[in-house]
Amino acid sequence: MVWRISNVTEAVEAERKAWQNRTLDEIYPIVFLDALVVKVRHEGRVINKALHLALGVNLEGKKELLGMWMTINESSKFWLNVMSELQNRGVRERV
């Protein structure tokens, strides 16, 4: 069997969704929000997309990647949705 990137992606998609929707700690004293522009293949073309990252520092001082999202661009409305999602996953306080 020949493995292609799409085969590998499909194989781990359920795990990625479970990770992205896992319950988070209630308190993160520090939360970093940022985006990186990455090139991705979409419908046979290579385009730029924004890979958004939320990185939290928990009460033990350990960094934890809280989530990743990919969109065409970065906007304040998008980040508001991210913050709502993090609250829905258990985050109650960000200092």
pLDDT at residue 8, rounded to an integer = 80
Q: Which of 9, 10, 72, 7 has the alpha carbon at shortest distance from 38?
A: 72
Per-residue pLDDT of the chain (95 residues; tens, 9 = 90+): 566 777 788 889 889 999 999 999 999 999 999 999 999 988 999 999 999 999 999 999 999 999 999 998 878 899 999 999 999 999 997 65
Question: Model-level pTM?
Answer: 0.80
First and final C-alpha spacing in the chain: 51
How far apart CA 45 and CA 8 sit, in angstroms, is 20
